[in-house]
Structures are given as C-alpha cells and as structure tokens.
Structure 1
C-alpha cells in the first residue's frame, strides 16, 4: 500500500491548476521540501525527513524520476489514452525504464528484520551505508515505483479523462470512470453540453 500511495502521489504532483492549465507542485526546491515533509511517514525509514531540505540537484533527480513514472503509467493504461498532461511529452518506455532502474540502483539496500514486542515481524529495506538525502530520496521513490508497477495494482491504474483533469488513479470498483466525483460531474456536464450542441438547430 505504501509503495502505491507514494508513487501515485509523486505522479499527482502534476495537476490541474483550477484555471484550465496544469500546475507543477515540484517547480522549485521548496515545493519538493514540502512534499517530502508531507510524506514523512512513508519516507522515514530511508530518509531523515525532518532535516531534509531540497536543492536544485534533488529537484532535478525527482522530476526526472517523475517523468519516468508518468511515462510508465501511460504504458500501464495503454491502449487507453494517457493523461492529457503527458500526451505530447512522454518519454519512450525504454528511456523511462532506464531512468527508473538507474535511480533505484543508486543506493545499495539491504533487508533488515524489525520485530517490535507484541507485533509480528516485518522486513524493512534500508540503505547499506549512509547516503546524502537527495540520493536516498530518489532511490526510495524509484524502488516504490518498481514495487507498484510490478504489483497487482498496476492492472487497475487508469488515467482520468474528465475535462481539465490530468490525474491517474486506481480503479476501486467496476463502474468507476473518474478519479473523484467532481470529475464525474464535470464529464457529465460536458457530455450534456456536447449532445445539445450537436443536436441543436441546423
């Protein structure tokens, strides 16, 4: 679940801006710092979240990784159309895979057994040696994306095609078409207007 949420949330840092355009929550280092702090629970095992402050290098690495993730999301939803935000600027799948796997391999990792008193044991992967935060961040996000894309949730990944939406989402039930109810409402209104426009007076 954590890999799914982290990977989706990374992809969704590209979103509709509310005015007909596309906003990028990772357009500057401060945006990445906020995003990391907002995802502290998921990142805490691999990164000193409290001390993390993004710089231009960290931002570039995460943006490159995000481009790869969104390209692979587009491949996952194929033959359906990808998100409109990606349609004209998708990386080739081979390049997206190369970027993702390179980022995941940046930090050698080892499994560690955690077994708190009164709880079941769990395996947790940690860096084999201390690494800078920006390197650990990209590697952690890449490994989460690998786990998500290789897992069963990939089959339920969809691009939302409501007007102005650029999100990907996990289809939770068979009749779900949109990422959220507001997108479904916009899509129905748009269909209604289109029907009346095409069936109106000639």
Structure 2
C-alpha cells in the first residue's frame, strides 16, 4: 500500500467518503501522492477499509470507476462547503453508485458453527459494492447535520476535506497548519527586511 504523506484528516476515520476524497494528496512543488495510483494500490486501499475481501484483485477498469467516484464526491463536497451549484450529472453519477449494488452484508453460517455477516459479491460486483457503501456514507454526510462541520483545507496546494473539531480549525492536519504559519512568518521577515533597506 502507498504511504500517505499526511495523517488522516479529522472525520476520515468515521466517513469513508472523506477518506476516499482525501486518497490523493497535493503537495508543495506540484507533487501529488495518490493511494489509488494502480489497480493493486486501489485494491489494498479497499481491503484496508473492509470494502472488499482480502485476496480480491481489481482491474484498472475498477480502479478508474473508483477514481471517478472520488472526483464526483470531491465536487459534491466543494459544493457543500462553498455553496456553489453542483452539476446535476455529478449527482446522477453519485446516485448511480449508491444503488449499483446492495451494501448490506449477508448472513452466513460459519464452518465451525454460528453465524457471521459478510459482503461477498461476485467478482464483477466488488467495485459496485464498495462504491455503493462509499456513496451511502457521502449521502449520509451531505444530507445530515455533520455537513455543517465539513471544510476544505486552507493550506495551498492541499485540497483535502475534514470535519471541524472546533470552530476555528482551518487545516486538515497540523502539518498543513505548520506550513502556512511558517510561510506567513517568512513573509513577515522578508517584509521587515525590505522596510529596513
């Protein structure tokens, strides 16, 4: 699995939709790190979140579909944060993902007796199941009370989303906040040096 350069943002552990949108991180200097960079890393990301079974192998087609959902959810989150209208086609695609596959785990019997729930689907429906779960989480977030806490990181070039844990928070991580504060301090020092000349 790809090592992400920033810790998960507040709310990503509770909302897999925030986690998906934040699966690409834009860094200073034009660099980006994408947890869904390959079919293998996409599969590992989904396994790590319990959205597909261990041993699953997704193809590039599935990877591209999940990246498409990520892009659509990012647009929906931007709309929720800024109040800008959302392209109806984006909403149609999110709703299509929402109903693409049942996201309820089925009841199964265990080999040694007893019961367990599992999200077993035919291989052709693995990504549909995962997308349905993620889209359901996004719909719950966007239509619920927590949407008022949804924010986008204010540290350029970061575009990650987070849930505000307190009213003044402006960044998705302390690392982004430290970068902004350091840039401001450097700008003040440069300005003071220019005034002294």
Question: TM-score normalized by structure 1?
Answer: 0.73
Structure-2 change in CA distance of 1:18 and 1:39 (3 Å): farther
State the 1:31 CA deviation.
Answer: 1.3
Q: Is the 8 A contact 2:97 2:131 kept in 1?
A: yes
Question: TM-score normalized by structure 2?
Answer: 0.75
In structure 1, the gaps of 5 or more residues are 81-90, 114-123
SS at match of 1:33: helix
SS at match of 2:189: helix
Count of residues in Structure 1 that have an aligned counterpart in Structure 2 = 175
CA RMSD, Structure 1 to Structure 2 (Å): 3.1
Q: Is the 8 A contact 1:77 1:157 kept in 2?
A: yes
Aligned match of 1:37: 47
Q: Provide the C-alpha distance between the structure 2 equivalents of 1:64 and 1:137, rounded to a whole number of angstroms.
A: 13
1:51 to 48, 52, 55: 55
State the 1:151 CA deviation.
Answer: 1.6
1:134 has 2:127 as partner = yes
1:64 has 2:68 as partner = yes
Q: Can you list the C-alpha shifts for 1:109-154, whole angstroms capped at 9, x where unaligned?
A: 66989xxxxxxxxxx9x79x86621221222221221112112211
Q: Can you list the C-alpha shifts for 1:72-101, whole angstroms capped at 9, x where unaligned?
A: 111111059xxxxxxxxxx95322211100
Q: Is the 8 A contact 1:14 1:24 kept in 2?
A: yes
Aligned match of 1:98: 92
